[in-house]
Amino acid sequence: KHLASVSAIVVFVVLFRVLRVGGKTVTSIDDDDGGQPIHVDLDLSRVVRVVSERFLSVAIDASLMSDEKFMNLLNSPKLRTLAKALIPAFLRFGGTKQDFMKFRPQGRYFQARDNNVCEKLELPPFLENKLKQEWVLQSKTLLQEEVEGKYKKTKFSEYAVDLLYAFANCSGLDLIFGLNALLRTPENSWDSTNAELLLKYCGSRQYVMSWELGNEPNSYEKKAGIRVDGYQLGQEFFHLHQILQKSILYNSTGLYGPDVSQPHDHRKDLLPGFLEAGAEAITACTWHHYYVNGRDTSLEDFLNPVVLDTLATKINEVLETVKSVSTGKKVWLGETSSAYGGGAVGLSDTFAAGFMWLDKLGLGAKLGLDVIIRQVLIGSGTYHLVDDNLDPLPDYWLSLLYKRLVGPEVIKAEVHTNFATKKQVRVYLHCTNRKSTHYKQGAVTLFALNLNKGQVTITLPSYIANSTFEEFVLQAPEPGKQSLYSRSVKLNGEVLKMVDDRTLPALQGSELPPGEPIKLPGFSFAFYVVTDARAPVCK
């Protein structure tokens, strides 16, 4: 009996199975040490949708301008190197602090578009180190403001604007500037005087950029004791749109909004009301999303598929609202990260945050978001992409790999498995980034995350299973759940770090022999480029 049982197991292990699911062929080869098999069905015959080439974009939190001297951190050669590697992308300058800032010209400025300005502005190492140390203290002050809900009003000059534009221009990022919407008249309508002053200055310098107005208007009452309904907000955006139309430089620029929080019962009517009055004024509709409260979350939340699935509900709700009022309007996640309230200390800047981030990128593109702006490249909070020394954190490396390997064309990929933890292995498929000269036309990139502690084997349809794969597996530096708290990440077994302040490492994949099963380790995420997929829709 024992021999018979062993024989049956061996037969099962090497069994070649062909399944028919939804009219498509799903092929799997279960190996003896590959862990739980995950069968993935692909449809390379059509593109489901195409997102913006700037789909993954980044933000600088407006808190960096709370004291103008910290804007000089944007002149760091290291930070510029990291930002430049993420293009094409939008750079959003905004956040809670934008609604407590006022432009005050002081006659101190420079031309951020001048030749050689990028070299001229480079921050000397001794000054960079001094500013980084002072910024750590400033961040604590800003965090206290966030906790207390009391925000100090500040002013900024032409020089701060010049530094911001120079950073965007030198890095190749497309700047979106968030205007203060809490400057109000006695009748509680938006006072555009200060915005017009800023627009006039930026126009005189030929600073090409797009605009937003206000941040999370559903919380104005809580933050500043001011209540604005959706219809009024839409009218205020229309007013800004008319101002931009009068500008030679900005009459065809982007205007994005209203940057509402994710749908809640409280102020749920704000977005529909805004769209009815202001949809024609905006280029795309923006909203914000965070999975959890940063002050009471845990590692378990970051690995919980139920928590990750809440995003789909919110996305579909917003898409349906926009569609019902303004069909065809693009929808962006205008600000997003793992946890609100400035992030979760000890989690939002660690390897563990990558599960939420990669799943958000995959799900967002799949469901129909056009752009996702990550909070934050640099600024206050703990959900940034670089640390206090401006060194890249795990989510930066994940973002960089996504940029290099994933194109804007979304292709259908569906997981088929009968084991209980199905949702803990999540798989997405795009055409490979066509701007990469490293891969042949028709290549596709599959990316996946494994929320289980055990390894899984991903098996693909027979027509692609024997192709050549290049794998990029991201893992915490050490085995075990505790290592998920690390602020480092390994790519194919090697810890990633910059070569020097101006040089990123070559992110090399490992080639899998044709027919070799895809093995995704526990608590990891990975990209697999099918180099010879020859997908017609990716040529």
Active-site residue numbers? 216, 335
- Alpha-carbon dihedral angle through residues 290, 420, 34, 413, given to the nearest 10 degrees: -60
The CA distance from 82 to 171, in Å, is: 9
The CA distance from 40 to 21, in Å, is: 10
The CA distance from 382 to 376, in Å, is: 9
SS3 132: helix
**DSSP strand pairing (16-21 vs 425-432):** unpaired
The CA distance from 11 to 57, in Å, is: 49
DSSP string, 245-271: HT-TTTTTS-EEEEEEPSP-STTTTHH
The CA distance from 515 to 201, in Å, is: 61
Determine the length of the chain: 539
DSSP string, 439-498: S-TT-EEEEEEE-SSS-EEEE--HHHHTS-EEEEEEE-SSSSGGGGG-S--EETTEE---
Beta bridge mates, 411: 429
CA distances from 131 to 66, 67, 101, 145, 163 (A): 14, 11, 21, 21, 15
Judge whether 329 and 279 are in contact, CB under 8 Å.
yes
The identity of residue 503, as a single letter, is: T
SS3 322: helix
The CA distance from 450 to 37, in Å, is: 12
**242 alpha-carbon distance from chain centroid:** 31
79: CB partners within 8 A, 6+ apart? 73, 167, 378, 386, 390
- Alpha-carbon dihedral angle through residues 217, 221, 227, 233, given to the nearest 10 degrees: -10
DSSP string, 281-310: G-SEEEEEEEEEETTS--HHHHT-HHHHHH
486: CB partners within 8 A, 6+ apart? 350, 351, 394, 476, 477, 478
The CA distance from 99 to 216, in Å, is: 10
